[in-house]
C-alpha cells in the first residue's frame, strides 16, 4: 500500500518500485489523501491557460492515474475501471477505483481532502490539519464520483480513516513519503519553489507521511493486537530531496518512470472518455525529462539501509536475523537446518525500518534503531531518538531493556533530522555508533569497555547523504564512509584507540547512491556503490595499513538501482567479489555468479528491498538475508566458489 498526498507522488517519488510490485502480481493499493486540485488550472505548456476548474482538474488527474496504472498492468491506457466507494468511520465515503487483470489487482482510493481550502477567512491545508487543533479540511469529490457529497475531516478523523483502510487491506508493505525531510537553506542556487519554509520538501508530503506513520502506530497497537500484531514492513521515500542530490537512476529506469508519467500526464487530444480531461497536462509528452527539478531521474529511499541484519555464529554457522516488523524489533533464531525459527517480538516502540547490529566484546548482540519517540502535532511531541537493545546470542535468556541514546540534535524539532544508525565493534572492544546529523554531517558516540557511553561528538567535515557504512580493517581500525555530492567521504582511526578523523576522499567516481563497506580476507576494506545516473557499480579497495592507498577492484553494470551489499571475508579480486542486490531490476540478468539476488520464496511473497550479507568471525560461512513481503526471512548460504545455495 502506498499512502501519499497527491496524485502523481507515487509515480514521481516511489516508482519504479510500485511498477515492479504490480508486475510481480502482488495486489497494490494506492491511497491519495488530498484531491490534488491545487488552483484548478490544467495548462498545457506553451498554450494559453484555461479557466480555473478545481473539480475538473481533480477529475483529470484521477483519470491520469487510471491511465498510468492500466499501463503498469500491461493494458490499454483507457481500459475501463470498476468505480465504487469505501465506507469509512463517521459515515464518510472514499472513492474506490479497481482494475483486475490476469490475477493482478490495483485499487486506487481517493479521500479527496481539499489541497487548498479556507476557514474563517484564512487558508488551511494538510499541514494545518496536522499541527493546529480544531482545523478541519473539506473534501472535494470529482465530478461524477460515486462517493457521497462533500464532507470534512479533523486530525483524528483522518487518522481513523487511514487505520480503517489498513485494517481493510492488511498490507504487508506500506510505502509513505518522507516524514522528516532535510533542513534546507533556500537561495538562488536552491530556490524555494513549493518547498516548506526551511525544509526540502512540499509541506503536504511531510504532513501526509506523518499522518500515515501515526496511523501505522495505531494499527500496530490494536485492536488487531489481540490476535497478534500485524507483521508489516515500511518504506519511506524522499520527495524534493531528489533535485538537490546526484541522480541515482540509470537511463533505462528513467525511461520506464517517464513512460508511466507520460501516461499519467496525457494530452487534451486523447479520447479517454473523461469529459473533465485525460491527465495532468503539464506532465505528459516527455516534459518531465526537460525539467530542471530532475524528479524523474531519482528515487531515493528515506532510510536507504532499511532491511534485516544478520549475525552468523562462529561455532556452528547458525544465522540470527533481526528486522523491523509492525514497527517493532523482531528476531529469528537460526535452526540447525539453517532455516529461521518463528519471530520473537523484542518490542522497541515505533521504529524506523533501518537497524544496525554489532557483536560486543563479550559476544552479546547490540541492536541499534531510530525510534519515533513521539508522533504528535507539536514540535515537542514529534521527536526522534536513537535506541539500543542488548541481546544474548541465539536468544539465550530474556530480552534486555531498551536504552535511549538520545540524538546529536538537542532541539526537539531538529531531532527529526537524525539519521538511522550504523555501528561496529573495534579491535579494542569499544563499540562505535554513527548517525547522520541535522547539519548533513556525522555524529558519533562510543561505548567503552567499562559499559559507559561517551557524549555525542560531531566528526569533522562532511556534507553527506543519509545512509552510512562502516567497517573494521585487518589492523583493527574503524573506517566510516558516506556519499557526498561529488565523492565518497571517508573517516578513519589513525590507531586502534584513536578518534576518527578525516580520511582520504576517493575521487575516482561520483557516487549516485549510498555505499556499502566490508572487510576482505586480507584485512583491506572494500567500498561499493553505484555511479551517478548509472547502473554501473564500482568497488574500491583500501589497502590494509595504508590509509590513503586506494585501488579499483572492479567496475561493472549491475541492473537495478539503489544501494548494493558486498560480501565480506573474501579475497579482494574481481573474480572473488560478490555483490547482493534487490530482486527488482530494469535490465538483463547477470550470469557470472558475481551478482547475487535473493531467491523469491513464492509468487505471493517476493523479497523486499536490498538483502544484507553477513560472514562468521574468522572468515567462516557467509550468508545473504532478505525479508519476503510476508515478513519471513530468506536466508541463502553463499558458496565459497561462487553463487549461492
512-526 tens-digit pLDDT: 999 999 999 999 999
In a domain, 643, yes or no: no
Q: Are residues 120 and 53 in the same domain?
A: yes
Torsion of CA 154, 108, 607, 573, to 10 degrees: -100
Do 143 and 287 have their domain in common? yes
Shared domain for 261 and 316, answered yes or no, is: no
Number of domains within the chain: 2
pLDDT in tens, 540-572: 999 987 666 999 999 999 988 999 999 999 999
Query: Does a structural domain hold residue 206?
Result: yes
Give yes or no: residues 261 and 339 share one domain: no
Q: 546 and 507: one domain? A: yes
Residue after which a domain boundary falls, among 262, 297, 332? 297
Whether the predicted pLDDT of 588 surpasses 90: no
Q: pLDDT by residue (tens digit) across 118-130?
A: 988 899 999 999 9
Say whether both 214 and 332 belong to one domain: no
Per-residue exposure over 279-290, b if at least 16 CB sit within 10 Å of its own CB, e if not: bbbebbbebbee
pLDDT-derived band at 602 (thresholds 50, 70, 90) equals low
CA distance 332 to 320: 6
- Lowest average pLDDT, out of 258-262, 368-372, 588-592, goes to 588-592
Of the candidates 404, 493, 407, 486, which has an alpha carbon nearest to the alpha carbon of residue 443? 407
pLDDT exceeds cutoff 70 at 223: no
pLDDT above 60: residue 204:
yes
Q: Does residue 115 lie in a domain region?
A: yes
Residue-wise pLDDT tens digits, 90-146: 999 999 999 999 999 999 999 999 999 998 889 999 999 999 999 999 998 999 999
- pLDDT tens digits, 419-453: 999 999 999 999 999 999 999 999 999 999 999 99
Cα–Cα nearest to 559, from 12, 13, 2, 16 = 16
Query: What does each C-alpha distance from 626 to 204, 324, 445, 633 come to in angstroms?
Result: 32, 12, 29, 6
Closest alpha carbon to 173 in 599, 585, 564, 583: 583
| pLDDT for the residue numbered 587 | 39
The mean predicted confidence, pLDDT, of the chain is: 93
Average pLDDT over residues 591-609: 72
Contact between residue 135 and residue 128 where contact means Cβ atoms under 8 Å apart: yes
Start-end of H helices in 80-190:
126-131, 155-169
Q: Are residues 257 and 334 in the same domain?
A: no
What CATH code is carried by the domain that includes residue 12? 3.40.50.10320
Let me know whether 186 and 242 are in one domain: yes
Is the CB of residue 542 less than 8 Å from the CB of residue 479? yes
552 found inside a domain: yes
Is 158 within a domain? Answer: yes
390: helix, coil or strand?
strand
Rounded mean pLDDT, 210-228: 81
**Domain enclosing residue 580, as ranges:** 309-638
Pick the closest to residue 94 from 177, 46, 26, 158 (CA basis).
158
Q: Provide the whole-model pTM.
A: 0.96
Q: Which helix (H) or strand (E) holds 634?
A: strand 633-638
Residues present in the chain in total: 645
Compute the average pLDDT of residues 224-247. Answer: 84
pLDDT at 585: 42
Is the residue at 303 inside a domain? no
Question: Residue 227 pLDDT more than 50?
Answer: no
Nearest to 579 by CA among 537, 617, 627: 537
Contacts of 459 (CB under 8 A, 6+ apart): 434, 441, 442, 443, 444, 480, 491, 500, 502
Where among 243, 274, 297 does a domain terminate? 297
The answer to the question of residue 497 being in a domain is: yes
Which DSSP letter does residue 506 get?
A: B
299 phi/psi in degrees, rounded to 5: -140, 100
> Do residues 173 and 222 share a domain?
yes
- Confidence (pLDDT) at 226: 43
Cβ 307 vs Cβ 354: under 8 Å:
yes
Predicted local distance difference test score (pLDDT) of residue 582: 82
Q: Of 235, 269, 297, which marks where a domain is finished?
A: 297
Are 363 and 276 in the same domain? no
The answer to the question of residue 253 being in a domain is yes
- Give the separation between CA 369 and CA 180, rounded to whole angstroms: 16
pLDDT 10s digits, 270-298 = 999 999 999 999 999 999 999 999 999 99
CATH number of the domain at 541, please: 2.130.10.10
Judgement on whether residues 277 and 415 belong to the same structural domain of the protein: no
372 and 445 in a single domain? The answer is yes
Q: Measured between alpha carbons, how far is 505 from 492 in angstroms, rounded to an integer?
A: 11
- Which pLDDT tens digit goes with each residue over 237-264? 999 999 999 999 999 999 999 999 999 9
pLDDT at position 598 is 77
Between these two residues, 365 and 585, which has the higher pLDDT value?
Answer: 365
Amino acid at each position: 500500500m502506498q499512502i501519499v498526498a497527491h496524485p502523481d507522488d507515487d509515480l514521481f517519488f516511489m516508482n519504479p518500485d510500485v511498477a515492479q510490485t504490480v508486475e510481480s502480481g502482488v495486489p497494490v493499493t494506492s491511497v491519495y489523501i488530498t484531491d490534488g486540485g491545487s488552483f484548478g488550472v490544467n495548462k498545457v505548456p506553451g498554450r494559453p491557460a484555461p479557466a480555473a476548474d478545481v473539480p475538473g482538474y481533480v477529475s483529470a488527474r484521477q483519470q491520469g492515474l487510471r491511465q498510468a496504472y492500466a499501463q503498469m498492468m500491461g493494458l490499454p491506457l483507457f481500459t475501463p475501471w470498476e468505480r465504487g466507494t469505501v465506507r469509512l468511520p463517521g459515515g464518510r465515503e472514499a472513492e474506490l477505483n479497481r482494475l483486475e487483470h490476469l490475477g493482478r489487482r490495483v485499487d486506487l482510493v481517493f479521500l479527496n481532502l481539499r489541497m487548498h481550502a479556507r476557514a474563517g477567512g484564512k487558508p488551511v491545508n494538510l499541514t494545518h490539519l496536522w499541527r493546529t487543533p480544531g482545523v478541519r479540511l473539506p473534501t472535494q469529490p470529482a465530478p461524477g464520483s460515486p462517493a457521497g457529497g462533500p464532507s470534512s475531516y479533523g486530525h483524528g478523523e483522518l487518522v481513523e480513516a487511514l487505520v480503517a483502510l489498513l485494517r481493510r487491506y492488511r498490507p504487508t508493505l506500506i510505502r509513505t513519503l518522507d516524514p522528516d525531510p532535510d533542513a534546507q537553506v533556500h537561495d538562488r542556487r536552491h530556490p524555494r519553489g513549493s518547498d516548506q519554509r526551511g525544509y526540502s520538501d512540499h509541506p503536504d508530503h511531510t504532513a501526509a507521511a506523518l499522518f500515515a506513520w501515526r496511523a501505522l502506530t495505531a494499527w500496530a497497537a490494536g485492536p488487531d493486537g489481540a490476535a497478534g500484531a500485524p507483521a508489516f514492513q515500511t518504506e519511506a521515500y524522499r520527495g524534493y530531496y531528489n533535485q538537490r542530490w546526484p541522480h541515482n537512476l540509470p537511463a533505462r529506469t528513467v525511461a520506464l518512470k517517464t513512460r508511466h508519467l507520460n501516461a499519467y500526464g496525457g494530452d487534451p487530444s486523447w479520447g479517454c472518455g473523461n469529459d473533465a480531461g485525460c491527465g495532468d497536462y503539464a506532465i505528459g509528452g516527455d516534459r518531465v525529462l526537460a525539467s530542471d527539478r530532475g524528479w524523474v531521474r531519482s528515487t531515493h529511499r528515506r532510510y536507504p539501509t532499511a532491511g534485516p541484519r544478520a549475525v552468523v555464529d562462529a561455532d556452528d554457522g547458525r544465522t540470527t536475523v533481526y528486522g523491523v516488523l509492525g514497527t517493532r524489533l523482531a528476531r529469528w533464531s537460526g535452526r540447525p537446518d539453517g532455516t529461521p525459527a518463528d519471530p520473537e517480538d523484542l518490542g522497541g516502540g515505533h521504529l524506523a525500518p533501518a537497524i544496525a547490529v554489532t557483536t560486543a566484546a563479550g559476544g552479546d548482540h547490540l541492536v541499534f534503531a531510530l525510534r519515533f519517540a513521539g508522533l504528535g502535532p507539536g514540535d515537542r511531541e514529534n521527536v526522534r531518538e536513537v535506541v539500543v537493545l542488548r541481546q544474548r546470542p541465539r536468544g539465550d535468556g530474556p530480552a534486555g531493556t531498551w536504552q535511549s541514546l538520545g540524538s546529536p540534535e538537542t532541539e526537539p524539532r531538529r531531532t527529526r533530522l537524525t539519521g538511522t544508525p550504523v555501528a561496529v565493534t573495534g579491535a579494542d572492544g569499544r563499540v562505535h555508533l554513527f548517525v547522520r546529523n541535522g547539519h548533513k554531517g556525522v555524529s558519533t558516540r562510543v561505548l567503552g569497555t567499562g559499559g559507559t557511553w561517551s557524549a555525542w561528538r560531531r566528526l569533522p567535515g562532511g556534507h553527506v547523504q543519509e545512509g552510512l557504512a562502516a567497517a573494521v580493517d585487518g589492523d583493527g581500525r574503524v573506517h566510516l564512509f558516506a556519499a557526498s555530492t561529488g565523492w565518497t567521504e571517508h573517516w578513519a582511526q589513525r590507531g586502534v584507540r584513536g578518534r576518527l578523523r578525516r580520511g582520504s576522499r576517493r575521487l575516482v567516481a561520483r557516487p549516485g547512491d549510498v555505499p556499502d563497506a566490508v572487510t576482505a580476507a586480507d584485512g583491506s576494506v572494500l567500498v561499493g556503490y553505484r555511479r551517478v545516473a548509472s547502473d554501473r557499480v564500482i568497488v574500491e579497495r583500501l589497502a590494509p595499513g595504508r590509509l590513503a592507498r586506494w585501488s579499483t577492484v572492479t567496475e561493472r553494470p549491475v541492473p537495478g538501482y539503489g544501494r548494493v551489499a558486498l560480501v565480506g571475508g573474501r579475497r579482494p579480486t574481481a573474480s572473488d567479489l560478490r555483490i547482493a542486490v534487490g530482486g527488482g531490476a530494469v535490465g538483463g540478468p547477470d550470469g557470472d555468479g558475481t551478482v547475487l539476488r535473493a531467491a523469491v520464496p513464492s509468487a505471493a511473497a517476493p523479497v523486499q528491498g536490498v538483502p544484507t550479507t553477513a560472514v562468521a568471525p574468522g572468515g567462516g560461512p557467509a550468508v545473504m538475508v532478505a525479508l519476503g513481503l510476508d515478513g519471513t526471512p530468506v536466508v541463502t548460504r553463499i558458496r565459497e566458489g561462487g553463487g549461492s545455495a
